[in-house]
Structure 1
């Protein structure tokens, strides 16, 4: 029945599994492969298409997610839909979709993004504050104040609201950074800052050095622009500078990306002496730094060391901050601080991209800073998040004492859990999802990491944190045995 003379093109930018998905859909829509027909085994398809079995599994997952095929235990995989909707499409956009510059998220990241909208899901992977941690009443009061004042909502200047930039400069002064408003760019979240840096300052084939593991591996921000990620092993104190020096020999156009404060996913805090050492090394090598500092205000006992930017006397640090992690992700307010020529360049690109961040959000954020509500909110937030952290640690002590080890974070939202023995992280992810627990497996942050899980305590309720960790322990023990 299945005479397949076609093979996916390994030189084409479209992933192999998506090429196979397109081929199978075409066969079904043309009625060459009929509804109810049984597909060959995964092993047989791998041979027919001349690909790895993992590629076939990814293709089958995609077709199953679209409701085109269905697998039954012992009964093989059958075609259950003739893709009528596909037949009625007026134009096939697949060629355009596959040739766009921006790479798609990994399939597991797409699954995570979809699952996060399920209100019944225990979100143990999210890095955003729960709704009860967002100062809703304070934001509403500011919105009313702005409404009464008839604040104009036109376009802001390229760098963003001057009022907001002035207030951010006052805030930066409290953490040791001296900046003037012309060296600050307002962005639509910190992630846009990274995208603008990629577009405006780096070139294809640039090397981005980053801690290994790092949340940047789960994004396509730099890879979509043709840049290479180069992992530098991490120590308890952060990036191994000796290893960085070994990798950076004779490489031009490189840049360091680091999260020195409450690192995502490990929770590590780089001590002051190592921050000084990193700055000294990068100054000597002429190696610029992107400092991601979005978790700074979420500390529990003692404030973290000052930012790298506060130690920067030569203008080599681009400082990325924002309020999404500690105040409100929905306001979409972030900032980049750097030398004025850099900020001019990035603001020009931002104007070409979206003509400026929301004026309303900028006005709200400026009022939060100017009124002192931002500082007061952070003070209260730390107490509430510490309770969540302690709840997670207690649950881990109860359920994971014999199967894993973990860090005790002094701030931020993450516990980096290390299982005593490796397991299939994707299988754990899928089984947890079926029991309404959403986790971030470690291989999102480090290639082929099969012993780590990032546990977040920022979004789930206290009861859900305990329940989620209990369910997770059951699934881990099930795999281990």
Structure 2
């Protein structure tokens, strides 16, 4: 059950416990909380509703007396009945069983907590993998829809692969990265996550093994697992994925695909050097192992651009290349792309039409304008400066407060610093203690469940003052936990 969007009215003549009673009762009567659903613990409800625990206890006792809820020691409090199930001629649907039997796996509980807490106004977001709203070109975006060129805008469906104008603009944009492709080999997707979903549904058999760098962002989501795939982590070294291990482990695990983030890797921030990229292509070509290259951070370099993408040197159609505007123009745009062999793109376009009938035409129109007009290049130039300042600020704070408790490397671009604690501690306890202190972090165990010594620090969202405040307090918490 999620954080409620309701709080009792302290200026009302009705006592707080009666307001809470009515609120919870309506959740049950409306079918939002179905029979068998677990009610949040008293302490959590009190925090969420900003009242004393005794007030919540009184409200729950009244609900129990009226037969709406029941408690079982050691298990919690559950919805026991509702008006619908009382008056209906048959039993109410057991939605709890439906929810638990759904095909798509639930997020890890810690990921769910992160997703909820990111919307708390009092939280310092040290782990958020998105741009600060201050870095998003909101006013320029408004201007695009107000210009005369907006007369070209259509609200109709686009063709299966997406707007031809946008796909052409993407082809021109990719040429500068060394990637030669045509609009027929480009599929517009609603962000990178949809590209992963389409690949899972359209190209991989159930039970297939997907290789990835370990640690990896892909382990923090359940896109592949929910489609019945198995993930296998390949260790990373100083120069990225250890390509020399691939032949042996491919024979052992019969992998169908390798997912990799060569530039400004999430979560480590590492960038794979040119020679390692060549080796990776050679090994995967020899092993006939297709590559899914995630390049969503590729434009966010600081001093110098990263080596060319793997796709730029792919002459066999080995690489599926994924890009997105979520990390540069804004996550709300929901525009990304997948580049690959035409037969693959045709297959995925067909599945996309079956699932959502095409990405937003408004977003596609705006994205095409950004890429064609030169606005995107201007924006990226300024954005790199801002992000580099944020990175340098974070590094200065780390240098001052984390020497002796952690080590790190300077990222050459992207959003992240991969902080390695010198003493392993419980990541779950650290996460909870930091959250209680108003600091939201991404602990390393969401990228590798065995990890008890890393934290992904993002410098892309929090303002410098918040970065300093949050990192100082986090250092104190780590010190307190390490000294026990």
TM-score (norm: length of structure 1): 0.83
Greater CA drift, 186-195 or 90-99: 90-99
Correspondence 1:267-306 to 2 at 5 A: 267-306=269-308
Counterpart residue number, 1:128: 130
Per the alignment, in what secondary structure is the counterpart of residue 254 of structure 1?
A: strand
Per the alignment, in what secondary structure is the counterpart of residue 258 of structure 2?
A: strand
- Measured in 2, the distance between the counterparts of 1:411 and 1:61 equals 44
Counterpart residue number, 2:267: 265
**Cα gap change, 1:244/1:150 in structure 2, threshold over 3 Å: closer, same or farther?**
closer
**Cα gap change, 1:144/1:412 in structure 2, threshold over 3 Å: closer, same or farther?**
same
- Measured in 1, the distance between the counterparts of 2:150 and 2:305 equals 38
Per the alignment, in what secondary structure is the counterpart of residue 270 of structure 1?
A: coil
**Cα gap change, 1:265/1:65 in structure 2, threshold over 3 Å: closer, same or farther?**
farther
**Cα gap change, 1:146/1:291 in structure 2, threshold over 3 Å: closer, same or farther?**
farther
Counterpart residue number, 1:335: 337
What is the deviation of 1:86?
Answer: 5.7
**Cα gap change, 1:309/1:231 in structure 2, threshold over 3 Å: closer, same or farther?**
same
Counterpart residue number, 2:167: 165
Counterpart residue number, 1:137: 139
- Measured in 2, the distance between the counterparts of 1:86 and 1:370 equals 59
Correspondence 1:34-45 to 2 at 5 A: none
- Please tell me whether residue 87 in structure 1 is matched to residue 89 in structure 2: no
- Please tell me whether residue 241 in structure 1 is matched to residue 246 in structure 2: no
Counterpart residue number, 1:9: none
Pick one of 324, 338, 341 that aligns with 1:322: 324
- Measured in 1, the distance between the counterparts of 2:259 and 2:80 equals 43
- Please tell me whether residue 311 in structure 1 is matched to residue 313 in structure 2: yes
Counterpart residue number, 1:470: 472
What 5-or-longer segments of structure 1 have no aligned partner? 1-58
Instruction: Say if 2:104 and 2:227, in contact at 8 Å, map to a contact too.
Output: yes
Pick one of 332, 353, 356 that aligns with 1:351: 353
Instruction: Say if 1:257 and 1:292, in contact at 8 Å, map to a contact too.
Output: yes
- Measured in 1, the distance between the counterparts of 2:319 and 2:443 equals 31
Counterpart residue number, 1:384: 386
**Cα gap change, 1:253/1:428 in structure 2, threshold over 3 Å: closer, same or farther?**
closer
Pick one of 446, 449, 454 that aligns with 1:447: 449
TM-score (norm: length of structure 2): 0.83
Q: Deviations over 1:135-186 (max 9, x none)?
A: 1121111011268516221101000000000000000000000010000000
RMSD of Structure 2 on Structure 1 (CA): 2.4
Counterpart residue number, 2:221: 219
Counterpart residue number, 1:432: 434
Counterpart residue number, 1:46: none
What is the deviation of 1:251?
Answer: 4.6
- Measured in 2, the distance between the counterparts of 1:268 and 1:355 equals 37
Instruction: Say if 1:405 and 1:420, in contact at 8 Å, map to a contact too.
Output: yes
Greater CA drift, 365-374 or 115-124: 115-124
Per the alignment, in what secondary structure is the counterpart of residue 248 of structure 2?
A: helix
Per the alignment, in what secondary structure is the counterpart of residue 416 of structure 1?
A: strand
- Measured in 2, the distance between the counterparts of 1:104 and 1:449 equals 21
Correspondence 1:47-62 to 2 at 5 A: none
- Measured in 1, the distance between the counterparts of 2:80 and 2:218 equals 35
Q: Deviations over 1:387-420 (max 9, x none)?
A: 0001100111111111110111010000000111
What is the deviation of 1:92?
Answer: 2.4
Per the alignment, in what secondary structure is the counterpart of residue 170 of structure 2?
A: helix
Counterpart residue number, 1:23: none
- Measured in 2, the distance between the counterparts of 1:371 and 1:413 equals 26
Counterpart residue number, 1:369: 371
What is the deviation of 1:424?
Answer: 1.2
- Measured in 1, the distance between the counterparts of 2:124 and 2:478 equals 17
What is the deviation of 1:250?
Answer: 5.6
Counterpart residue number, 1:39: none
- Measured in 1, the distance between the counterparts of 2:149 and 2:373 equals 17
**Cα gap change, 1:243/1:65 in structure 2, threshold over 3 Å: closer, same or farther?**
farther
Pick one of 113, 116, 124 that aligns with 2:115: 113
